[in-house]
Structure formats: C-alpha cells, structure tokens
Amino acid sequence: MGESGYKNWQEKTLIPYIKKNPTRKEKFKTSSYLDVKDLYIDSDVENYEQNLGYPGQYPFTRGPYPTMYRGQFWTMRQYAGFGTAKESNERYKYLLRQGQTGLSVAFDLPTQIGYDSDSPMSEGEVGKVGVAIDTIDDMETLFRDIPLDKVSTSMTINATAFILLAMYIVVGKKQGVDKKLLRGTIQNDILKEYIARGTYIYPPKPSMRIITDIFDYCAKEVPKWNTISISGYHIREAGSTAVQEVAFTLADGIEYVKSAIEKGLNVDEFAGRLSFFFNAHNDILEEVAKFRAARRMWAKIMKERFKAKNEKSLMLRFHTQTGGSTLTAQQPENNIIRVTLQALAAVLGGTQSLHTNSMDEALALPTEKSVRIALRTQQIIAYESGVANVVDPLGGSYYIESLTDTIEKKAWEYINKIDELGGMVAAIEQGFVQKEIQESAYQYQMDIENKERIIVGVNSFQIEEEPPKDLLKVDPALRDEQIKNLQRVKSQRDNSKVLNNLKLLKEVAQSNENIMPVVIECVENYATLQEIADTLRQEFGEYKESVVI
C-alpha cells in the first residue's frame, strides 16, 4: 500500500469518479470538527506496531484487562432514583430483578448541595432529579432488603460525597457488613462541578482537602471502594468536543493526584481506586478512538509524571453514560436508536460499566417500561451482537488508530496549556476551561440552527406529533412527606449528642485531621445532611461561580 499506492488511487480512481459523482460535502469532519480523509491507509498511523500494544499491558490502549468481556461483561448499571427513599428502593429492587448487576443512585439537588428537604432553598426541588436523603433514616430505607455485601453501589454525589459515604458505611454496619467488604463508587469530582455541573458548595482548596481525606480514609478502611469518578461526561454535556472531554478530565485527574501526593499519600496507595466517567456521544467511531486515547494518556501520565509503580495505578477504568443532551423530545422512539449506537461505541471502546438513557429522558425521568428497554439494549449488545466476544475489535483499523493518535495529540496540547496556567484549579479560576467549552457549545448549537448539523426529527424529518403521554411525574406532596419524616427523626434523636458531634466536626475542620471518622459519628447520631454541610460552610465559606458566557 503506502503513500504511492494511495496517490495512485486518488489520481486514477477517486478523482475521476468524484467528477461524475460528487461527494455529499466538500469536507467531512467528525462531531468534534476533526478532519475525516477520503480514505485511511497504513501510512496514516505512525509506529503502527508499537502503538497498538496489547490489552492488559501498558499503555493499555486496547483495554485494561487481557480478556475484557470474554472474562466478564461490563457492569450494567442504570442510574436511578427519585422521590422518596421508599420509591427508589422499589425501583432498585425492580432493576436488580431485571438483571441489572450494580446499583447507581441519583440524589435530588438539595441533597447534592447540602440542603435538607425543609430548607427554603429546596422549594420545588425535593425528590425531583433523584432521591431525597436528609438523615441516615432515609439511607436505611433506600437500601432496605438490599444486602450491601452482595451489590456494588455507585453514588452520583460530589460536594456532599463525604456525608453520603459515611451514611453508606453506617447502613452497612447496621446490616452487619464490615466496611472492608463494601464495594462501590462515589463520584466525588468537585472540579467538574465548577466547570460544568454546578453542584459545588465550598471553594476549591477546602474541597480538595475533603476529597483527599476520603482517599486516605478509604485506602485504609474501605479498600474496595472507588473513591472518585473523574468525570468527562458533564464536560461533554456542557458542549465540549471529544478532545476537550479527554483533556479536561485527565487534567482534573492530574490535579487530584497532585493534591493527594502533596498531602503525603503514596501514589500507589490510592491511584488504583481512581476511576473515570465518560460520555458516549453520537459520532461512534470518534468515541471509540477517544476512549482508547484516554487510556493511553492516563497510563503515560501516571508512569512518567507521577512515577507510579503498581500496574493498577496505571490503568484507566471507566464508566460510561450515553449522552443525555443528544436525546430529543421530538419523536422520542428515535432515542432508542441513538442510545443503542452510543452504547455500542462504549462497548467497542472497552468501558467497565455502562448506563444507557431511556427514550423519554428529554422530558422526564424514565418510566419502568422505558428504563427496561434501555437495560435490554445493553443485554442485546452483550448477548446477541457478538461484539463482546472479541477484545478491542476495532483495534488496528487505520481510521481508529489514526483518530486515536490525533485525539491524543490535541489533548496533550490542552494539558500543556493548563500546566502553563498553573494547573486545573488556576485554569478554572481564570475561566480558561469554561471559555473553551462555551465556544464549542456555541458552535455546536449554531451548526444545528444553520442545519450544518442535522438532528433527525428536530431540524429535519419533522412530523406533527402529539405530546408524549404517561411521563413520570414526581408527586409534589412528597416534600411535605419528607419534611414530616425529618421532623420525626429530629424529635426522636439525642440532640445533645448531635450538637457535640457537630462541635467536634468544626474543630476537626479547622485542624489537619481527617474528617471522615467524626462525620460517621455525626451521621450515626442522626445529624442531618444540612447540619453537617452548614458546619463546614461556616468554616470553609461558599464558592461563587466565575461566569464566562
């Protein structure tokens, strides 16, 4: 093959053909504006043999494990939670019966931002985007009849992750499960909250302190727990490109590792429990390349920058969610197809765990029926399509390898720039990261407005349609129910114990001590989420966004 063969083909075959049969567009680009050539051949990939590598071996481009899904499927982990702990508990038991293999908890916004259900800030929000948790009482209800030594639970919680983790540990204790056996993840990624998601409480410095306290505590006491899920999903949802998603996520990762090391932790002590969370977007081949580039880059970062020795520290393991922002309210059945393709991309890219969105999620939380279809999507890919029988099936494709290289190269440029700015925290304070995302988001949307980018059913192939029926609705009376329960718990607890615990928490916050033990005590004695969060608000202050439009 080679360059000369390619040129020959262009001259003799391609160009004459195009003269009579023009291509649809002048230039083709991926969803993230990377060029797509007319053909990919061997010379498009540098160091083909070396860079390819092997699964389970550094730099893990082809996968963290040598057998991948031939060993076990990815965890099918549908994010769920809404309303009261009791309703969510029902949904979790339903999903486990339907074959889901891990739990994923969604919390409502007040819980994520450290407000109890009776706070004025919680008006209209209680139980809407996830389950409302005010005290350990709610947490016990959430996991009733679910043995914590038998399931792994992922909790999408960030600013208040330390509180929810403490609650999970106490629930385990009450079930008789030692914390050394608990398996799961907390998202616990505050940097992306500042960038893209908005559920921060405290400013960066004290937030990093809390996060590294968790790394330290779990390394010793909860060794099977994944202490962070460094997230690119939300960055992508905020409108970034695939390159930016990788670059900013890994830059966040670098910042977390740096902070932990500065605190005095040994990198191999905690790095094996860092995990990642990516988006599976529309351009499926670009997504596959993106995942592979991320794995290769993180391995290099951990080995060269942080000198990690343990192999586990070098492996990027990740959870994927199909891109929520790609779902349309128009012709919602089309979303099933979108999600299928995106899920396929995640599997071809070697994800360790996967959430597939339901078709009605552009408008509401999913019904039982639509979440079942989303789960079946994963099961059909796993059991019927055959792709799980091959390790890194697209590896070696000229296009995929070339695209992996390109994404890696461009992502390094961003990481270097962020290093120049002084690291991720500095870059965020200066608004650099947000500005990059803003520009991409604006471009993406304008392309839709101009029909440069076609969204089927929205700016093309539209139909007249009736609004969808039977969407899930959260009962607004829920807030009152939750408040009543909260008042009951508060009246039955030992208030003097709680006050003492909170006082101790304040002192620990002011010192260098790890906050986790005292938070666990607070939680055990039925201190509320907000009482704990407010104690730290007084010590650490609250973060105000630096807005870039």
Partner 1 sequence: MSQSQEIQKLVDGVLNKKTRYIAKAISFVENSDYKTKKSFLKTIFSYTGKAKVVGITGSPGAGKSTITDKLIKAFRDDNKSVAVLATDPSSPFTKGALLGDRIRMQNHTTDPFVYVRSMASRGALGGLSETTKDALKVLDAAGFDIIIIETVGVGQNEIDIVKVADCVVLVFAPGFGDEIQAMKAGVMEIADIYVVNKADRDFSQKLFKEISDIVNLSQKQPKPPVLKTIATNTFKESSVESLKKEIVNYLDHIATSSHLAKKRQLFIESELIDTVTKIMIDKLLSNQNVKSFFDNKTIAQIYNKELNFYTIIDKIVEAI
Partner 2 sequence: MQKVRILIAKPGLDGHDRGAKFVARALQEKGYEVIYTGIRQTPLQIALAAVQEDVDFVGLSLLSGAHNELFPKVVEELHNAGADDIIVFGGGVIPQSDIEFLKSKGIKAIFGPGTSIKTIVDFIENESKSRNSKIS
Positions touching partner 2 (CB under 8 A) are: 109-110, 112-113, 115, 120-125, 128-129, 193, 197-199, 237-239, 325, 328-330, 362-365, 438, 441-442, 445, 449, 455, 458-459, 467-468, 471, 474, 476, 545, 547, 549
Minimum distance of partner 2 from residue 282's CB (angstroms): 15
Q: Going by C-beta distance under 8 Å and a sequence separation of 6 or more, which residues neighbour residue 354?
A: 74, 75, 76, 77, 280, 319, 320, 321, 343, 346, 347, 378
Bridge partner residues of 229 (DSSP): 275
Alpha-carbon distance of 314 to 308, in angstroms, equals 7
**Contact with partner 1 (CB under 8 A): which of 54, 58, 398, 543?**
543
Minimum distance of partner 1 from residue 543's CB (angstroms): 6
Specify the DSSP class assigned to residue 127.
T
Minimum distance of partner 2 from residue 513's CB (angstroms): 31
540 contacts partner 1 (rule: CB under 8 A)? yes
Residue nearer to partner 2 on the CB measure, 177 or 363 = 363
Residue nearer to partner 1 on the CB measure, 61 or 434 = 434
Task: Give the closest residue to 322 by CA, choosing from 289, 353, 368, 301.
Answer: 353
> Hey, how many other C-beta atoms are within 10 angstroms of the C-beta on 435?
13
**Contact with partner 1 (CB under 8 A): which of 386, 422, 484, 510?**
422
Specify the DSSP class assigned to residue 367.
P
**Contact with partner 1 (CB under 8 A): which of 310, 330, 430, 443?**
430
Per CB under 8 A, the segment of 15-23, 108-116, 379-387, 541-549 that binds partner 1 is 541-549
Residue 442 main-chain phi, psi, to 5 deg: -65, -45
Q: Which does 17 bind (CB under 5 to 8 A by kind): partner 1, partner 2, none?
A: none
Residue nearer to partner 2 on the CB measure, 200 or 399 = 200
Per CB under 8 A, the segment of 283-291, 317-325, 411-419, 429-437 that binds partner 1 is 429-437
Minimum distance of partner 1 from residue 415's CB (angstroms): 20
**Contact with partner 1 (CB under 8 A): which of 56, 203, 393, 423?**
203
Alpha-carbon distance of 237 to 282, in angstroms, equals 12
Q: Which does 352 bind (CB under 5 to 8 A by kind): partner 1, partner 2, none?
A: none
Residue nearer to partner 2 on the CB measure, 420 or 470 = 470
Residue nearer to partner 1 on the CB measure, 171 or 238 = 238
Decide if 350 contacts 385 (C-beta within 8 A).
no
449 contacts partner 1 (rule: CB under 8 A)? no
120 contacts partner 1 (rule: CB under 8 A)? no
Q: Which does 364 bind (CB under 5 to 8 A by kind): partner 1, partner 2, none?
A: partner 2
Residue nearer to partner 2 on the CB measure, 175 or 331 = 331
Decide if 254 contacts 301 (C-beta within 8 A).
yes
Look up tokens 């979440």; give the residue: 371
Whole-angstrom CA distances from 468 to 89, 368, 541 are 27, 15, 44
Alpha-carbon distance of 167 to 85, in angstroms, equals 13
Structure tokens at 508: 């620990």
Alpha-carbon distance of 525 to 159, in angstroms, equals 21
Structure tokens at 193: 């909250």
Q: Which does 543 bind (CB under 5 to 8 A by kind): partner 2, partner 1, none?
A: partner 1
Classify residue 397 as exposed, middle or buried by CB count within 10 Å of its CB (0-12, 13-18, 19+).
middle
Structure tokens at 318: 């990740």
Alpha-carbon distance of 264 to 429, in angstroms, equals 25
Q: Which does 203 bind (CB under 5 to 8 A by kind): partner 1, partner 2, none?
A: partner 1
Q: Which does 540 bind (CB under 5 to 8 A by kind): partner 2, partner 1, none?
A: partner 1
**Contact with partner 1 (CB under 8 A): which of 384, 491, 511, 549?**
549
Structure tokens at 19: 């003269």
Alpha-carbon distance of 164 to 186, in angstroms, equals 9
Q: Where in 227-383 does DSSP place strands (E)? A: 228-231, 274-280, 318-322, 353-355
Per CB under 8 A, the segment of 19-27, 39-47, 220-228, 538-546 that binds partner 1 is 538-546
Residue nearer to partner 1 on the CB measure, 507 or 545 = 545
Minimum distance of partner 2 from residue 100's CB (angstroms): 24
Q: Where in 448-537 does DSSP place strands (E)? A: none
Q: Which does 113 bind (CB under 5 to 8 A by kind): partner 2, partner 1, none?
A: partner 2
Q: Which does 239 bind (CB under 5 to 8 A by kind): partner 1, partner 2, none?
A: partner 2
Q: Where in 249-326 does DSSP place strands (E)? A: 274-280, 318-322
Residue ranges in contact with partner 1 by CB under 8 A: 203, 422, 429-431, 540-547, 549
